[in-house]
Amino acid sequence: MSHNSIFHRQVVPFRAEAEEVFATYEISYEFYRESEYRAELAAYCEWYNRVAEQHRQEFAAMQQEANILGLFLRRSA
């Protein structure tokens, strides 16, 4: 069977076609990984901002509370 037969052309893609298919697959995979990375980064940033805001509120509340420990430390000094 020669390499110019219909069977060979349909089953075995030309080298250029195979390279093009692989390049398309590689680009698609890279795009998928990048979109996954960005989604994970956005979720992390959202979580971080929520926790940071909660910590700011807790810190502001602690600053308004009486410093009981300071009273004990002044007496022992």
Give per-residue pLDDT as tens, 13-68: 567 787 888 899 999 999 999 999 999 999 999 999 999 999 999 999 988 887 77
Compute the distance between CA of residue 57 and CA of residue 47 in angstroms, rounded to an integer: 16
* Position with higher pLDDT, 32 vs 4: 32
Alpha-carbon span 32 to 40, nearest angstrom: 12
What's the length of the chain? 77
pLDDT for res 57: 97
Give the closest residue to 8 by CA, choosing from 17, 26, 24, 23. 17
CA 44/CA 69 separation, integer angstroms: 36
Tell me how far apart the alpha carbons of residues 62 and 56 are, in angstroms, rounded to a whole number.
Answer: 10
pTM higher than the cut 0.85: no
Residue 31 is predicted with a pLDDT of: 97
